[in-house]
Amino acid sequence: TADLKGTYPLLLERKRHHHERMAEQYEKEGAFPEKTRQRNLADFNATKSIVVVRVIASDGATSFNESYLGDSVFGNGVDDANVVSQMKACSYDKLIFQKAPDKVGLDNRTTVIGVDDATNNTTTVAANTTNSANDTRTEIVKLANGVVTITLPTTSIAQGDATMRNEITRRLNSVFNVRHPRQ
C-alpha cells in the first residue's frame, strides 16, 4: 500500500495557495480570473415557429381534435395559461413561440375513403389499396392555425416512439416539401 502520510496537509497547502493567488488577482484586476467556475448563460432573444401535429395511426389516435390542441398550445383567445404563454413568461419574454404559417399539402401516400364532417374523423387506407373509384381521393393536408393532422395508415402505435417519430417526420417532409425543420 502507498504511504499517504502527509498527503492531506499537502492538499490543504495547495488549496490555500490557489485561493491566495485568486485573491491577489482580484485585488489587482477587480475581478476573478477567467477560469473560475461560473455559469455563462447565453443572452438571447428568439422567436420560433412551431407546429402541433395530431397523429392518426393505424391502431389509434388522440381523442383531442385540432381545435382543442391549438387552444392548449397557442391559447387562441380561449386559454390564457397555455404552452406559448408559459414559455414566454418563464423566459422573461426572450423565447417566443408562434404558430407556423398556414399551408396546404398533398399526401400521395394516404387515400381517404370518407370524412365525417361532424367529428372530423377519417377512414383511411394506404394509397395503393384498391377501393371503389368514386369514394377515394388523395388526402389534402391542411396546416391551419398552427395545427395539422397527419394520418399513418400503415404505422401502428405498438411499433414504438422512434418508428412513429420517424414516420411522422417523413410524412411532414413529404406533404409540405420540407427537408429541414427550419423551412
pLDDT of residue 69: 93
pLDDT of residue 140: 79
pLDDT of residue 80: 87
pLDDT of residue 113: 42
pLDDT of residue 1: 45
23: pLDDT confidence band, cut at 50, 70 and 90? confident
Q: Is the pLDDT of residue 50 over 80?
A: yes
Ordered DSSP codes for the chain: ----TTHHHHHHHHHHHHHHHHHHHHHHHSS--TTS---------EEEEE-EEEEEETTEE-SS-HHHHHHHHH-TTT-SS-HHHHHHHHTTTSEEEEEPPPEEEEEEEEEEEEEETTTTEEEEEETT----GGG-EEEEEEEBTTEEEEEETT--GGG-HHHHHHHHHHHHHHHHT-SSTT-
Average of per-residue pLDDT values in the chain = 75
Chain centroid to CA 40: 25
71: pLDDT confidence band, cut at 50, 70 and 90? very high
66: pLDDT confidence band, cut at 50, 70 and 90? very high
Model pTM score = 0.60
Q: Is the pLDDT of residue 136 over 60?
A: no
Mean local confidence (pLDDT), 24-37 = 65
Q: Is the pLDDT of residue 120 over 60?
A: no
